[in-house]
Chain A
């Protein structure tokens, strides 16, 4: 059966189980869009900016575990996707991006809206394609989905010239892929598993450092089993938040630059760090030579290139985390480490990092705590990047797995609006709270129109301090309070702004209003923007300055109140 290139794209998407795509049409991709109009099975969500489309696809993918799909036209449409693509690449998010390209004869001629998209995205995609013949589209899309969602997931871009969408070709969707250079290792090597078990069984002060890999691999039960069997305390990375239940007695917290002091200090004292599906980001390690100095390291990751990249692994295991843990757990002897667990309790009481000082002021930490209380810790949290992100990571105690979606690696401000939108599309029945900064929110708030248009009941909590808060904090600490270019003196009225989009807006200026406002937002069936006008110059503590060790750890100045 002969189909046009556009039909082949749509048929291929259907075979990959795609039911929603985010995007914006334009000249080069129009033939595909005009074909898609006769494919009602594929819901197209028209975003207001292509960055909104790529970040919505990212949020959708993280919330569902399925491949997120976004589309844009050539040139500026395609380049606007790039921040969202890079975000997905850094955080291992499965995504397929379909971009229109100028017609074949225009390529290389600086044609109108031409940009070398495969060149631009080379370093920020797992792989990419420029498909020059309609007969190659099906294979490219088949491979794109396979590559995006196997091994270490990531974004794959498929760039298709305008006239290839209209060219006809025989459509046969391939059953399998032929990729001799791509064979992800799934099972851990038995010798390495044995060595890891031995280290765990011999350890006196073992510590599990769990990352995003737990969520991607859905290794929740296996992780709990390992932790409980050998009574090993668990710390998680930022992207590992909600990989292990916060309420679990073995849960310690998130270490690192703005991690909880006792979680960072526990790494210092551990004699074995069991790193599961994480990549030793500099925000976790600080100065690498000072990281986990007393510990041997077991490092499990599906990406061999992560082994020994930043931190040397005494026992490296390459494989899919859930499978590796199922191999490993039977060899781990049931035991407990009462002294070590007691020591961690001691660290917790010596360093009460989650203490919030008593004040009448509207503290952002308290707002996160209120959100957690009212939602019973069961909301799907999506954050932006900065202070509010760190307060959310510290204070929102997740009860459900995969409930904390955030741009970790790239740290993309503005992520909070479109990613929350995508997450809500993927999880229509879950309560989605976007914890937003006033800075990031203004980068992508045009997506409020998309949210209103599709009546997506996302709840936004804007942590409005009138500053690029994290940058201001660095200026305060490292640049003698020179608040150059971080103070917003002309922020919009976010309540009126929301109302202009047809969205309920609520303002909170007093500590006493917070809980009621959150309840009101939850009771409203549609989207809501709550403008929390929080304390302007609040800092995120604890803090370990970039490239330092726990020796430089700074704690909340008023923490004495909690110690007494």
Chain B
């Protein structure tokens, strides 16, 4: 979509007004100057996805919409998790961080912040495992995705739908 003031609001407003449920939404600059790319997850059957797509196209600033849920895609989510630690539990937490190939990005006397990247299941699993230690705060980005390969690329210079 065109990177203009209020464009996120236009999209969010449309979802709200028409009663579509979105469980996550992530937005950022794309590879083309002046355009942003948004990934959002909407709950609904094919008919709802069809309507969401068409309603998005009605927004003047939206250039291209793809339902990537049935495509060959890479989907990732990043989460920052602040977990309570004590000298006795810290090694165990660090072990989990290793197993999940995540990183410790901050350490303080009574907690650590873990950065984890992966699909939603991976983030959910890590959260489940860390819960007994005491999760203080969680910040998740929501899912972002790109299609694999070049054939069905969403690149904007490939022309618009």
Contact = CB atoms under 8 A, between A and B. Distances in A.
Interface of A: 118-119, 122-123, 126-127, 130, 147, 179-183, 303-305, 307-309
Contacts of A181: 1-2, 57, 59-63, 160
7 contacts: A123-B13, A147-B60, A180-B156, A181-B2, A181-B160, A305-B55, A308-B47
A119 B12 CA distance: 12
B160 A304 contact: no
A123 to B, nearest CB: 5
A183 B64 CA distance: 11
Interface residues of B, number: 23
B54 A305 contact: yes
B57 A180 contact: no
A305 B50 CA distance: 9
B51 A183 contact: no
B160 A307 contact: no
A181 B13 CA distance: 18
B58 to A, nearest CB: 5
Given A304-B57, A305-B54, A305-B58, A118 B13 contact: no
Given A123-B13, A181-B63, A308-B50, A303 B58 contact: yes
Given A122-B9, A126-B60, A127-B60, 11 more contacts: A119-B9, A179-B60, A180-B63, A180-B156, A303-B58, A305-B57, A305-B58, A307-B54, A308-B50, A309-B51, A309-B54
B70 interface: no
Given A118-B6, A304-B57, A183 B160 contact: yes
B10 interface: yes
B128 interface: no
Q: What are the 3 A-B residue pairs with the smallest beta carbon separation, nearest first?
A: A305-B54, A181-B63, A127-B60
Contacts of A127: 60
Interface in B1-48: 1-2, 5-6, 9-10, 13-14, 17, 47
Contacts of B58: 303, 305
Contact of B51 (A118, A182, A305): A305
Contacts of B10: 122
A464 to B, nearest CB: 37
A304 B54 contact: yes
B17 A180 contact: no
Nearest to A152: B58
B28 to A, nearest CB: 18
Interface string B146-161: 0000000000100010
A230 to B, nearest CB: 30
B155 to A, nearest CB: 13
Contacts of B55: 305
B115 to A, nearest CB: 35
Contacts of A308: 47, 50-51
A309 B58 CA distance: 14
A126 B55 CA distance: 12
A213 to B, nearest CB: 16
Contacts of B51: 305, 308-309
A307 B62 CA distance: 19
Nearest to B7: A181
A144 to B, nearest CB: 10
A556 B100 CA distance: 74
Contacts of A305: 51, 54-55, 57-58
A127 B55 CA distance: 13
Contacts of A123: 13-14, 17
Contacts of B62: 181
- Which one of A119, A147, A183, A305 has the greatest number of beta carbons of chain B within 10 Å? A305
A306 B14 CA distance: 15
A130 B10 CA distance: 13
Nearest to A312: B47
Contacts of A180: 2, 63, 156, 160
A535 to B, nearest CB: 41
A156 B144 CA distance: 32
B56 to A, nearest CB: 9
Interface in B64-107: none
Contacts of B160: 180-181, 183
A130 B4 CA distance: 11
A156 B55 CA distance: 17
B60 A182 contact: yes
Contacts of B9: 119, 122
A251 B27 CA distance: 52
- Which one of A182, A183, A303 has the greatest number of beta carbons of chain B within 10 Å? A182
B50 to A, nearest CB: 6
- Which one of A122, A181, A309 has the greatest number of beta carbons of chain B within 10 Å? A181
A180 B64 CA distance: 9
A304 B52 CA distance: 11
Nearest to B51: A309
B18 to A, nearest CB: 9
- Which one of A119, A122, A130, A307 has the greatest number of beta carbons of chain B within 10 Å? A122
A119 B10 CA distance: 9
Contacts of B14: 123
Contacts of B1: 181
Contacts of B5: 130
A308 B48 CA distance: 10
